[in-house]
Chain A
Amino acid sequence: MLNYRILNTLRRPGLKADEDQNCGSYLVCDQRDKSKTKYVMKIIDLEDFTNLNDFIRDILWYKQLNHQNLMSLRDCFLIDTKLHLVKPYASFGSCTDLLFAHPFGVREQLIAHIMWQLLQALRYLQDRHVMHRGVSSKNIYLCDDGRVLLDNFSHCISMISPFDGRLRRQIYDYTDDLKDELLYLAPEIIFQNAEGYNFKSDVYSLGSVACELANGSNAYLDMPFGHLSMLYAKVQGSEPILLDQTQLTDEMIALSDENSSAYVEEIKKRRYSKEFHSFVKSCVSTRLESRCTVDDLLTHPFVKHPRKISNDPQLVAEDMAKLLGSYKDKQITQMSTTIDQILDRSNNEYNSINLSWEF
């Protein structure tokens, strides 16, 4: 435990200082390790939590899963009442941080890249009969080598029944703590009806993340009556859409005021590709029959672009490391401002290299 040296304190932009007093995060490096790889050490005071089982279950998931695009847990130990978790450091932060730097949304190519990697992660989980149930922008991290990591396995559930050991086609498990992910939950989970839900619900969450990244904010955020209108909208069958010039209605222009006019201007300018629209549509369809599975999406034209580089996720990550390698050495001092610049550059390079592959 004394092998880690603290380099810096990490603080999420926009979070008040007193909020993370008992869950501090620190940037650390392992003194035994000569490569100076950076890690994030999260310190949680177990004294503040009445139920320890959640943490234990969470940690056991980390230990059971091992994939390129899933967050791994390097170390966990206990000092006094404080649990220390050491995870790889994702220098670009989470997708929430990304949106913080790009309030109007991020570029389509980057979203395609993120989606492709997330699909790999979901594919891996699905092969092991595990549902993630927590796919949301704050649980998706971007590393400086271009790798995308899915984190937070506290909502994971196995499709193998703990009672008879059989594989279930649908599950009916509705725990209270799922409400943390309410904005991203598929309508069939919210319904809690006799039909249950399955892997397709993770696909819905994925679609709403894609939408959120493109639009700059979650479709159901800031609704007039808070969660109630969101639930109503989902139950009514409304689906999140990509906001670009094709979707812009006169009503929206008329309703825009000083605060939102810049956003509307931005929407007027941009136009997302047909593939992206169809990708989101096939993810967030409220009817299960018309929603795609993870396998269907892996062959979808929207994510086909990065697919051309290689079929092997290992190689994709290596290519990405090469693409982004040029600014690996760059020191990041101020998170929120540099994220912006670096990502802009990453998009440009990403585009140009992709073009060269088209030959």
Chain B
Amino acid sequence: MSESNVIDEHINSGYDAGFITDIEMQTFDPGLDENVIRKISAKKNEPEFMLQWRLDAYQQWLKMERPDWAHVKYPEIDFNSIAYYSSPKSQEDAPKSLDEVDPELLRTYEKLGIPLHEQATLAGVAVDMVFDSVSIITTFKEKLAESGVIFCSLSEAVIEHPELIKKYLGSVVPINDNFYSALNCAVFSDGSFVYIPKGVKCPMELSTYFRINEMNTGQFERTLIIADEGSYVSYLEGCTAPSRDENQLHGAVVELVALKGAQIKYSTVQNWYPGDVNGKGGIYNFVTKRGVCHTDAKISWTQVETGSAITWKYPSVILLGDNSVGEFYSVALARNAQQADTGTKMIHLGRNTRSTIISKGISAGKGSNTYRGLVNMSPKAEGARNFTQCDSLLIGDQCAAHTFPYIVSKNPSAIVEHEATTSKVSEDQLFLCQQRGIDPEKAVSMIVNGFCKSVFKELPMEFAVEAGKLLEVSLEGSVG
């Protein structure tokens, strides 16, 4: 089989998570105005401060312009054709335990490979399930509470922990940060909230699984993680959606706060529906993720992006405190007609701050993959260091790979190093594998996995395997 045939076969494979859950939903009519925002807020029984915050964001959003600088193309979005709230009817009274959750919903998660019963879950992983606009259930809450860790839906946190919300929500990504984050501030529905108390090492992995199910809805979730002084948490999010012909908007905001000496490890396996071979359907994934590191703190972003029709996200770290560390490890795959414009911003403000960026972009089919990053050494970033490595792998002659790194240095003692390369799966590599008896399908996925290895090793163990598999599934039909 010739190389191009092998690759064609790989990139035309299916999407496993594309089924639809048939369940009675309660969905707002499409459209966006102040009333809709009031209704969302009322649904969640939010305190007045939250409603005012949303309305303020809405007013600011109305004055903002849609950003057009990313290397992606898509038709104008009609924000009045989207429904901003959708939740399963059965969630009207928030279930207190798994036994009260609609079995159809549980089946959905089982089908996605996420068993929810605590005894059946991966050892040591607590999961928050977000289905369209609401959090279904959060597991291991009690166990976590024993060590003082708060892990719950954001809606719950607004009511139960208003002091933390008031202090930190919007503190890292301000309301008017950008067009999509402002929209999120106005209409965000649910998401996860994590607080790790001083000196606590979170006893298990925390995880949120996002599922979009309903048609014509947008998912605007919001995650806030606060790691108090000297604490540690590893958090992972996963996401999928049904295969539909319409594009759906996902506009999330994630804020991380790592206080003095704290460490947050945030991993994402993003597998939103990517659309079909011709680019029909798929999720528009327009996401703002940012963390702030205080003195001696560390934030590490790891992402495996295989889904979405369009990805527009730049998980960033503001290195505010001295000696703080920011890391960004990314694998982004763009196949079929997918477009990804992703990267990071490392803003070095403190002395001796360190950042590492490893980005692996894979373009196949008619996919277009862009790394866009900023490394900024401010005048006060005495002794700061950055190392960036961006590698692109091209598979097939119709794809595209771009690298746009912005480097700004205003401090002579700061050192920035950036390297980028572009390569393809070479015929020689393929031939060596074949000459050792390995068939071309397996060889390609082996080589691609090898290319991504330095990122996969940053994922929590269970998910590293999953990510590798996801990539294989995305690249080829079957894996031996």
Q: Do they bind each other?
A: no
